[in-house]
Amino acid sequence: DTGVSQNPRHKITKRGQNVTFRCDPISEHNRLYWYRQTLGQGPEFLTYFQNEAQLEKSRLLSDRFSAERPKGSFSTLEIQRTEQGDSAMYLCASSQAGRGEAFFGQGTRLTVV
């Protein structure tokens, strides 16, 4: 599968623990996006990178959230001190600069208990 890859697919964690998700975009794509999707809602934008630069962050991204894309390839999204409200599907997408079509991964489903 040469599409966007996300790991892990599922994560169950206890409240207060830290979690980290990984996204591997399509190799020639220089833009990478993170979205969050809660039950019954559409995806909500969190942040995006162009190459290694984080160019935009949503107000949804609290101080407990941090995203990196150190070499302009894969990206990680870390949530510190998880809360039950963080339970959601975290989606990663990638695209080429200047084109609106984004290709999505299958997501990481986080459950905070």
Partner 1 sequence: AQRVTQPEKLLSVFKGAPVELKCNYSYSGSPELFWYVQYSRQRLQLLLRHISRESIKGFTADLNKGETSFHLKKPFAQEEDSAMYYCALSLNNAGNMLTFGGGTRLMVKP
- Positions that interact with partner 1 (CB under 8 A): 3-4, 31, 33, 35, 40-45, 48, 50, 55-56, 91, 95, 98-107
Q: How far is the CB of 25 from partner 1 (least distance, A)?
A: 13
Amino acid at 69: R
3-state secondary structure of 95: strand
Query: 70 or 98, CB closer to partner 1?
Result: 98
> What is d(CA 78, CA 72) in angstroms, rounded to the nearest whole number?
17
- Cβ atoms of residues 101 and 33 within 8 Å: no
Q: How far is the CB of 15 from partner 1 (least distance, A)?
A: 27
Query: 82 or 88, CB closer to partner 1?
Result: 88
If one counts every other C-beta atom within 10 angstroms of the C-beta of residue 19, the result is 18
Query: 34 or 79, CB closer to partner 1?
Result: 34
